[in-house]
């Protein structure tokens, strides 16, 4: 199965290489090739999802370098050396090319593969210029995202993390709207600036682990680092009541935070997002909102919460405040937009505020709900951007002041848009509810004030979404005049007709939804309804991996891990780690004087 | 039998799906799947009532303690069934029986007890009739199938709401009925007024829903074992636990639930959406905005009675709010000219009566309070649906004109509509022996008992509410009479076909064969009217205090087992009781006065309106509440939105651009001038750097 995972990750890359090497390919062939690769990747992902064992925690489908090593016992949370040696760093397992999926990565991996389908369909007719390059960049982005979620090595993760910037930079910069250059450069520099700090944080984690772990192992493996840092015998590190922001965990937390906070984006680091969204082509918007923002949430879970739990606990009041501010600010700003794409972009800020609010409850309920909220946001926002793409292709405007009453023109479109909006507004029975409601519930149990303020976002969220529906779909039909009436000399035959607005001269020039538009939206709609009614399969898969993370908070005193066994089905890492005989007094060690390679 | 309870919501849903998918093929018959689905769901509801079993109806008349059945949990053990597990998340928490359950566990669990059966049979019965009526009323509408699909979806949500056995599932369906209401109010989406009304209804209800959600969060935080099921939460043990560990929650949670109820059941301060909701098709107004959905708030409070009545402050607030709402809405109804809006304000007012009754939950009046409230909910559903369908029949005949100044004297042209409307109106006015008489009488009795059972300022409060209720009953009879006389009596007047009110936008109906207005509606519409009129005459007599059947049915509700039983159980009917006499007196007086004003053309109303100009104006403009809310809430929100947008672009993004600007300036003005090509400068700098490094390396420590 490990081979299958690698094939899944790199199949889009293969497609991208083919498309890169045939730049003159016509639109029809290019999009069909891209669709085939995308569907193939989705099918392989489906196989992986079905083969995934939800009862197990820890990564699955991971190659193990040394086949002679005994398979880990089910209760053993020590991790073998996954994957293959990639860069040698002296003793230890080195930087490895290691791929694997646990429940958390699996759902985001599957979301990526799924959202590629509407992305390809959204580009179906809208991309005329250099289509091969466009699809090649999309497939390149897919490999980057799949690899990022599957990476089990911090350096590999970081490579994929930065790698995703490049195709998106070109997608926006080459295929975007009038301000595409400014948008792509802003997007690139802003996220790069943050992620360089994150790289520092990651390196700091590796070094801290090497310095203070009993064996001084230099490891880049994410599972090993997580387990090792959790039980690090360094009192400065493990001090449960991190009292100042200058403590090591808090500082490293801030470094890691920088990149992920910009990716999510957490208020007030969000201003690149509306610009990038408005300028990006539809496929870029779907992937940007649907998956790329989730990279931030995923990073928080994998690094900030799993590896620096005390740092996270220290900053919770600040982070929850920023999340609430993001929810309210995003919703209010969305309310003031008349460009419908900008509206949805700001709604992303608001909805991702709910995600981070759930993450920073630091509770199992909050983490599970935040994770499923990431999936939900991917589906609903992907659907909304696809809908906006459909509109833009027909009317070449996204200004709600110029559009209205489209229900009578595009009834199926109206159905899709209303369903996506209701899902986004967290109406029970649809997907948004199963994320938003438990997030607020967990937050209320932690501190009611934040939950009460955030619940105002529920009202504002419904307000801007319904306002969008009302302006776009309700009322008498209104279409941009330059586009919809090619004959300014109004047909006199229509003047005496009572229902003249029902008989626009252009009723034939606005086509109903094409098969590719329906095919792009239907999977998302199925997801919106299915998750709303039956979210449990997802919760079952993510809860073991999240429980490993949440145990870091459930029991703050890491020195007595036995009490976590009550709440955790798997013993905490500290119990099962091979303990060395002579563990040094951690306080006597400083980074400067200790040679790790004794 | 209880295991089949899922059929009740499932059958209308199935009908809705069939209609939604095959609607175009079915064409004019698109209503049948939904009508049959709801009707069979009514049959299942009755069968479920049979499974409640022992003591048969009529038994309690001789039973000296009719509520003891409720106090004995073993007698009517809660009968619940789990369809599937919806949400299970969080860490497992150990249970006494050893099997751990997750922190947040929400099953799709249905409960069948007296209260549920009552709501189910009422909802499915009225919905069947309304759907039949709509098959005539909506004939010719291009979106005929969509209408019935949405109605079927609504009945699914509404039956689910009353069947649910936990607060989260109730909340889910609570929002579900709100969505259906939104879709149906905005059914004629081309009308800007309908679009605005739909959005307003959803948003105002969302404001209430947030209260409901916060109540659930609070319950989850304080309840033992994080259990949100009715079985666990509405038990005496939980109330005791909360009284010791979280006394604030026993005030906060019920008030938050009541906040939610004020939105869904249109009470002060969140009633403002309901009059506008009349933009929807009239069958929708009858079903959703009169008989069923708007009573969900009353149901929720009645269901949670054990928590709501724990602190006397809470029922007092509920009763006072109900009284204020009832009086205000009746006052607004006096001067409106839109027949449907008169009925809408009347609905708000009658819902106020139900909350007045619920607010009587003090001391040993508790069981009477919930019984009276639910009885009024039950009777009101029949006569208010009847009145709305009657107004729909009028509207249908008048080419969608609904302004009562534009027509009149219709009793000859529309005899069935006139007769059935009169029966509904008399019931609303509380005239013996129609349905409304019995339930209004119970509410007045409950109010007097509550005043007797309380002391100090609470006793005064309940006395004042009793007086308010009498005054409202008078106004109710008056505006009902006014609406009836203006519509059906006096000289015959019809709107002209070119009436500007007869909006051609709405003309989806095939009036093409019928250029003249004013024919009696087809049998598909009059039959439901006749059935509802018959029910209005009978339900009060059959279920009311004469037989005690209703009290017996609702007493089989185990979640009420912790309510204080009455010391002196009240049963039977005393025609000479003061509240009966007073209630009838004000009702008759209101009708007589209405006849004097509007029975025939007269100058009286205008003269009175002129002499009471400010009062008339306040009523006509509904105390300017809509304008007030716009100024207080809508405008500030819009201002904040504009401010947020401004800050986002100029402040937050401005800071980002400032940060990005620094490296550019540093590079251009500081670093770039150094790269001037003068080798001497480079050499000097190199030397300085070397010196610095050497110093650093060999500096004595």
Closest Cβ opposite residue B213 in set A434, A437, A474 = A437
Residue partners of B249: CB distance under 8 A and separation at least 6: B218, B219, B222, B242
Local confidence band at A586 (pLDDT 50, 70, 90 cut-offs): very low
B88: contact with A, CB 8 A cutoff: yes
**Residue B339 is assigned to a structural domain of this protein:** yes
Closest Cβ opposite residue A463 in set B89, B203, B645 = B203
Per the CB < 8 Å rule, is B104 touching A438? yes
Q: Chain B closest CA to A426's CA: distance in Å?
A: 10
Q: Chain A closest CA to B145's CA: distance in Å?
A: 14
**Residue B472 is assigned to a structural domain of this protein:** yes
- The C-alpha atoms of residue B535 and residue B435 are separated, in whole angstroms, by 8
Q: Of the given ranges (B48-62, B346-360, B683-697), which has the lowest mean pLDDT? A: B48-62
Query: Which chain B residue has the Cα nearest residue A423?
Result: B179
In a mutational test of the A interface, the residue from B161, B217, B222, B656 whose CB has the highest number of chain A CBs within 10 Å is B217
pLDDT in tens, A543-562: 999 998 888 776 544 333 33
Per the CB < 8 Å rule, is B221 touching A445? yes
Closest Cβ opposite residue A428 in set B175, B644, B656 = B175
**Residue B23 is assigned to a structural domain of this protein:** no
Local confidence band at A68 (pLDDT 50, 70, 90 cut-offs): low
Closest Cβ opposite residue A333 in set B176, B199, B645 = B645
Local confidence band at B378 (pLDDT 50, 70, 90 cut-offs): very high
Greater model confidence, B73 or B388 = B388
Closest Cβ opposite residue A536 in set B88, B189, B220 = B88
- Length of chain B, please? 701
Note the pLDDT of residue B559.
86
Q: How, if at all, do strands A95-97 and A84-87 pair?
A: antiparallel
User: Is the link from the previous residue into B269 a cis peptide, with omega within 30 of 0?
Assistant: yes
In a mutational test of the A interface, the residue from B23, B91, B92 whose CB has the highest number of chain A CBs within 10 Å is B91
pLDDT at B51 over 90: no
Angle at A587 between CA A580 and CA A313, to 5 degrees: 95
pTM higher than 0.95, yes or no? no
Q: Does B373 lie in the same domain as B331?
A: yes
Q: Does B453 lie in the same domain as B386?
A: yes
Query: Which chain A residue has the Cα nearest residue B634?
Result: A463
pLDDT in tens, B578-605: 888 999 999 999 999 999 999 888 888 8
Q: Chain A closest CA to B106's CA: distance in Å?
A: 11
Chain A residues lying within 8 Å of B645, measured CB to CB: 332-333, 336-337
Q: Does B546 lie in the same domain as B693?
A: no
ipTM: 0.91
Q: Report the DSSP beta bridge partners of residue B81.
A: B110
What mean pLDDT comes out for the span A21-44?
92
Interface of B with A in 190-209 (CB under 8 A): 190-192, 194-196, 198-199, 202-203, 206-207, 209
Q: Chain B closest CA to A66's CA: distance in Å?
A: 35
Q: Does B474 lie in the same domain as B346?
A: yes
Chain A residues lying within 8 Å of B263, measured CB to CB: none
B512: contact with A, CB 8 A cutoff: no
Query: Which chain B residue has the Cα nearest residue A547?
Result: B91
Q: Chain A closest CA to B639's CA: distance in Å?
A: 9
Asked if A197 and A259 count as a contact pair (C-beta separation under 8 A), the reply is yes
Note the pLDDT of residue B506.
46
Q: Does B681 lie in the same domain as B549?
A: no
Number of domains in chain B: 2
Chain A residues lying within 8 Å of B172, measured CB to CB: 428-429, 433
Q: Chain B closest CA to A129's CA: distance in Å?
A: 32
Q: Report the DSSP beta bridge partners of residue B82.
A: B109
Q: Report the DSSP beta bridge partners of residue A101.
A: A60
Per the CB < 8 Å rule, is A550 touching B642? no
- The secondary structure of A7-23 as a DSSP string is HHHHHHHHHHHHHHH-T
Q: Does B680 lie in the same domain as B579?
A: no
Per the CB < 8 Å rule, is B209 touching A458? yes
Q: Does B329 lie in the same domain as B381?
A: yes
DSSP helix/strand/coil, A25: coil
Residue A237: which of A593, A23, A558 has the closest Cα?
Answer: A558
% pLDDT > 90, chain B? 66
Q: Chain A closest CA to B176's CA: distance in Å?
A: 7
Note the pLDDT of residue A199.
94
- Chain mean pLDDT for chain B: 88
Q: Of the given ranges (A529-533, B15-19, B693-697), which has the lowest mean pLDDT? A: B693-697
**Residue B629 is assigned to a structural domain of this protein:** no
% pLDDT > 90, chain A? 62
Local confidence band at A573 (pLDDT 50, 70, 90 cut-offs): very low
B104: contact with A, CB 8 A cutoff: yes
pLDDT in tens, B676-697: 788 888 888 889 998 998 888 8
Per the CB < 8 Å rule, is B644 touching A533? no
Q: Does B416 lie in the same domain as B322?
A: yes
Query: Which chain A residue has the Cα nearest residue B179?
Result: A427
pLDDT in tens, B478-536: 999 999 999 999 888 888 766 555 554 444 444 444 445 678 889 999 999 999 999 99
Q: Does B435 lie in the same domain as B380?
A: yes
pLDDT at B424 over 50: yes
Neighbours of A566 (CB within 10 A): 13
Residue partners of B484: CB distance under 8 A and separation at least 6: B421, B422, B425, B594
pLDDT in tens, A302-350: 999 999 988 898 899 999 999 999 999 999 999 999 999 999 999 999 9
Which of B547, B582, B602 represents a domain boundary (last residue)? Answer: B602
Q: Does B650 lie in the same domain as B596?
A: no
Neighbours of A65 (CB within 10 A): 14
pLDDT in tens, A171-192: 999 998 888 999 999 889 888 8
Range of the domain at B435: 312-495+537-555+574-602
Q: Chain B closest CA to A239's CA: distance in Å?
A: 25
Q: Does B648 lie in the same domain as B546?
A: no
Chain A residues lying within 8 Å of B195, measured CB to CB: 470, 474-475
Per the CB < 8 Å rule, is A433 touching B217? no
Q: Which residues of B30-40 are buried (b: 16+ CB within 10 A; e: fewer)?
A: bbbbbbbbbbb
pLDDT at A71 over 80: no
**Residue B678 is assigned to a structural domain of this protein:** yes
Query: Which chain B residue has the Cα nearest residue A429?
Result: B172
Cα B395 → chain centroid? 24
Residue A518 CB-density burial (10 A; 0-12 exposed, 13-18 middle, 19+ buried):
middle
pLDDT in tens, B214-253: 999 999 999 888 889 998 899 888 999 999 999 999 999 9
Q: Chain A closest CA to B382's CA: distance in Å?
A: 30
- HSE of A437, CA atoms in CB hemisphere, 13 A: 33
Note the pLDDT of residue A486.
42
What mean pLDDT comes out for the span A355-379?
95
Cα A216 → chain centroid? 34
**Residue B404 is assigned to a structural domain of this protein:** yes
Q: Of the given ranges (A95-104, A400-409, B51-60), which has the lowest mean pLDDT? A: B51-60
Closest Cβ opposite residue B203 in set A272, A408, A459 = A459
**Residue B491 is assigned to a structural domain of this protein:** yes
**Residue B383 is assigned to a structural domain of this protein:** yes
Neighbours of A54 (CB within 10 A): 16
Q: Does B594 lie in the same domain as B452?
A: yes
pLDDT at B264 over 60: yes
User: Is the link from the previous residue into A381 a cis peptide, with omega within 30 of 0?
Assistant: no
Per the CB < 8 Å rule, is B172 touching A459? no
Chain B residues lying within 8 Å of A369, measured CB to CB: 89
In a mutational test of the A interface, the residue from B89, B201, B255 whose CB has the highest number of chain A CBs within 10 Å is B89
Asked if B579 and B463 count as a contact pair (C-beta separation under 8 A), the reply is no
Q: Which residues of B150-188 are buried (b: 16+ CB within 10 A; e: fewer)?
A: bbbbbbbbbbbbbbbbbbbbbbbbbbbbbbbbbbbbbbb
Chain A residues lying within 8 Å of B85, measured CB to CB: 536
What mean pLDDT comes out for the span A38-63?
91
Note the pLDDT of residue B698.
82
Cα A397 to Cα A341, A482, A484: the distances in Å are 10, 11, 12
- The C-alpha atoms of residue A59 and residue A81 are separated, in whole angstroms, by 12
Chain B residues lying within 8 Å of A473, measured CB to CB: 189
Per the CB < 8 Å rule, is B637 touching A268? no
Task: Provide the number of CB pairs (under 8 Å) joining chain A to chain B.
Answer: 155
Residue A347: which of A324, A363, A331 has the closest Cα?
Answer: A331
Closest Cβ opposite residue B89 in set A329, A444, A543 = A543
Per the CB < 8 Å rule, is B103 touching A365? yes
Note the pLDDT of residue B75.
45
Asked if A213 and A573 count as a contact pair (C-beta separation under 8 A), the reply is no
Q: Chain A closest CA to B210's CA: distance in Å?
A: 6
Which residue carries 């910009």 as its tokens?
A262
pLDDT at A595 over 50: no
């Amino acid at each position: 199965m490990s081979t299958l995972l690698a094939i899944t990750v790199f199949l889009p890359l293969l497609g991208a290489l083919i498309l890169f090497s045939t730049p003159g390919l016509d639109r029809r062939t290019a999009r069909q090739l891209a669709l085939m690769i995308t569907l193939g990747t989705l099918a392989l992902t489906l196989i992986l999802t079905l083969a995934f064992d939800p009862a197990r925690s820890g990564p699955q489908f991971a190659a193990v370098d040394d086949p002679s090593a005994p398979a880990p016992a089910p209760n053993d949370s020590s991790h073998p050396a996954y994957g293959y040696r990639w860069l040698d760093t002296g003793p230890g397992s080195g930087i490895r090319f290691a791929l694997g999926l646990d429940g958390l990565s699996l759902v985001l991996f599957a979301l990526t593969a799924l959202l590629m389908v509407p992305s390809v369909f959204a580009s179906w007719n809208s991309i005329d210029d250099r289509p091969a390059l466009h699809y090649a960049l999309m497939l390149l982005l897919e490999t980057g995202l799949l690899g990022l979620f599957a990476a089990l090595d911090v350096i590999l993760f970081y490579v994929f993390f930065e790698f995703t910037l490049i195709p998106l930079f070109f997608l926006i910069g080459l295929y975007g709207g009038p301000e595409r250059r400014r948008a792509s450069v802003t997007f690139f520099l802003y996220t790069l600036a943050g992620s360089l700090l994150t790289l520092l944080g990651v390196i700091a984690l590796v070094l801290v682990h090497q310095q203070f772990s009993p064996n001084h192992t230099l490891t880049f493996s994410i599972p090993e680092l997580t387990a090792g840092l959790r039980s690090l015998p360094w009192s400065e590190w493990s001090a449960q009541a991190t009292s100042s922001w200058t403590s090591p965990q808090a500082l490293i937390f801030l470094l890691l935070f920088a990149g992920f906070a910009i990716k999510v984006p957490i208020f007030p680091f969000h201003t690149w997002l509306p610009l990038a969204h408005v300028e990006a082509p539809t496929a870029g918007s779907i992937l940007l909102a649907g998956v790329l923002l989730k990279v931030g949430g995923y990073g928080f879970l994998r690094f900030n919460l799993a590896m620096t739990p005390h740092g996270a606990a220290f900053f919770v009041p600040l982070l929850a405040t920023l999340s609430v501010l993001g929810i309210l600010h995003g919703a209010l700003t969305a309310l003031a937009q008349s460009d419908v794409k900008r509206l949805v972009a700001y709604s992303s800020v608001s909805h991702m505020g709910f995600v981070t609010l759930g993450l920073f409850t630091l509770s199992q309920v909050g983490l599970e709900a935040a994770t499923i909220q990431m999936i939900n946001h991917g589906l609903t926002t992907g659907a909304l951007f696809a809908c906006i793409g459909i509109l833009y292709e027909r009317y070449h405007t996204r200004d709600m002041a110029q559009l209205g009453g489209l229900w009578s023109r595009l009834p199926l479109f109206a159905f899709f848009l209303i369903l996506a909006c209701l899902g986004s507004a967290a109406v029970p029975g649809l997907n948004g509810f199963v994320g938003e409601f438990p997030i607020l519930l967990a937050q209320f149990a932690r501190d009611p004030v934040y939950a009460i303020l955030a619940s105002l976002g529920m009202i504002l969220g419904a307000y801007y979404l319904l306002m969008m529906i009302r302006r776009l779909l309700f009322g008498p039909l209104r279409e941009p005049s330059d586009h919809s009436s090619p004959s300014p000399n109004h047909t006199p035959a229509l003047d005496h007709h009572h229902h003249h607005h029902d008989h626009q001269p252009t009723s034939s020039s606005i086509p109903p939804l094409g098969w590719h538009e329906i095919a792009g939206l239907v999977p998302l709609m199925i997801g919106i309804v299915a998750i709303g009614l039956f979210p449990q399969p997802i919760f079952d898969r993510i809860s073991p991996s999240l429980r490993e993370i949440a145990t870091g908070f459930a029991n703050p005193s890491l020195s007595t891990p036995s009490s976590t066994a009550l709440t955790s089905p798997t013993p905490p890492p500290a119990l099962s780690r091979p303990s060395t005989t002579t563990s040094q007094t951690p306080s006597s060690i400083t980074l400067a004087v200790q040679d790790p390679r004794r | 039998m209880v295991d089949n309870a899922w059929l009740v919501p499932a059958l209308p849903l199935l009908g809705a799906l069939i209609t939604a998918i095959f609607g175009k093929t079915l064409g004019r018959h698109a209503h049948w799947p939904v009508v049959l689905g709801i009707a069979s769901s009514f049959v299942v509801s009755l069968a479920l009532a049979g499974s409640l079993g022992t003591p048969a109806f009529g038994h309690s008349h001789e039973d000296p303690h009719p509520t003891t059945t409720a106090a004995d949990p073993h007698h009517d053990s809660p009968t619940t069934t789990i369809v599937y597990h919806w949400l299970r998340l969080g860490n497992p928490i150990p249970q006494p029986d050893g099997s751990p359950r997750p922190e947040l566990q929400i099953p799709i669990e249905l409960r069948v007890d007296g209260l549920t059966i009552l709501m189910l049979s009422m909802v499915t019965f009225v919905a069947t009739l309304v759907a039949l009526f709509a098959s005539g009323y909506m004939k010719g509408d291009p979106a005929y199938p969509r209408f019935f699909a949405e109605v079927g979806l609504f009945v699914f949500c509404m039956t689910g709401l009353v069947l649910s056995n936990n607060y989260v599932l109730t909340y889910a369906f609570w929002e579900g009925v709100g969505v259906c209401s939104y879709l149906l109010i905005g059914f004629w989406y081309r009308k800007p007024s309908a679009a605005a009304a739909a959005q307003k209804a959803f948003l105002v209800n969302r404001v209430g829903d947030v209260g409901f959600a916060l109540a659930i969060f609070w319950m989850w935080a304080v309840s033992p074992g994080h259990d949100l099921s009715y079985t666990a939460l509405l038990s005496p043990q939980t109330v005791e636990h909360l009284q010791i560990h979280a006394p604030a929650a026993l005030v906060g949670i019920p008030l938050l639930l009541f906040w939610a109820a004020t939105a869904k059941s249109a009470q002060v301060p969140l009633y403002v959406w309901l009059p506008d909701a009349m933009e929807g098709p009239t069958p929708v107004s009858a079903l959703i905005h009169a008989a069923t959905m708007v009573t969900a708030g009353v149901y929720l409070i009645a269901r949670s009675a054990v928590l709501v009545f724990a602190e006397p402050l809470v029922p007092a607030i509920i009763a006072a709010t109900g009284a204020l709402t009832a009086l205000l809405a009746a006052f607004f109804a006096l001067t409106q000219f839109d027949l449907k809006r008169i009925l809408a304000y009347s609905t708000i007012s009658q819902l106020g009566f139900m909350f007045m009754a619920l607010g009587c939950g003090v001391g040993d009046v508790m069981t009477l309070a919930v019984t009276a409230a639910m009885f009024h909910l039950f009777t009101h559903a029949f006569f208010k649906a009847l009145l709305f369908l009657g107004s729909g029949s009028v509207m249908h005949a008048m080419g969608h004109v609904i302004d009562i100044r534009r027509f009149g004297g219709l009793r000859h042209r529309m005899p069935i509509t006139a007769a059935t409307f009169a029966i509904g109106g008399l019931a609303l006015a509380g005239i013996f022996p129609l349905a409304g008489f019995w339930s209004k009488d119970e509410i007045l009795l409950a109010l007097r008992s509550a005043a007797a059972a309380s002391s100090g300022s609470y006793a005064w409060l309940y006395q004042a509410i009793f007086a308010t209720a009498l005054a409202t009953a008078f106004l109710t009879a008056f505006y009902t009479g006014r609406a009836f006389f203006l519509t059906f009596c006096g000289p015959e007047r019809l709107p002209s076909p070119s009436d500007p009110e007869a909006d051609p936008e709405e003309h989806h109906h095939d009036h093409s064969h019928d250029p003249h207005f004013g024919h009696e509606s087809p049998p598909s519409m009059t039959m439901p009217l006749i059935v509802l009129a018959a029910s209005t005459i009978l339900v009060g007599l059959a279920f009311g205090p004469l037989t005690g059947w209703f009290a017996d049915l609702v007493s089989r509700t185990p979640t009420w087992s912790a309510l204080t039983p009455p010391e002196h159980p009240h049963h039977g009917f005393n025609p000479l009781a003061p509240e009966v006499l007073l209630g009838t007196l004000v009702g008759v007086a209101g009708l007589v006065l209405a006849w004097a004003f509007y029975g025939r053309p007269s100058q009286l109303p205008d003269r009175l309106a002129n002499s009471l100009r400010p009062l008339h104006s306040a009523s006509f403009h509904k105390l300017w509440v809509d304008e007030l809310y716009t100024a207080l809430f809508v405008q500030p929100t819009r201002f904040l939105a504009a401010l947020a947008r401004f800050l986002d672009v100029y402040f937050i993004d401005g800071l980002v651009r400032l940060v990005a600007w620094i490296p550019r300036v540093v590079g251009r003005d500081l670093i770039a001038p150094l790269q001037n090509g003068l080798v001497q400068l480079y050499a000097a700098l190199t030397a300085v750097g070397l010196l610095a490094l050497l110093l650093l390396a060999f500096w004595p420590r």
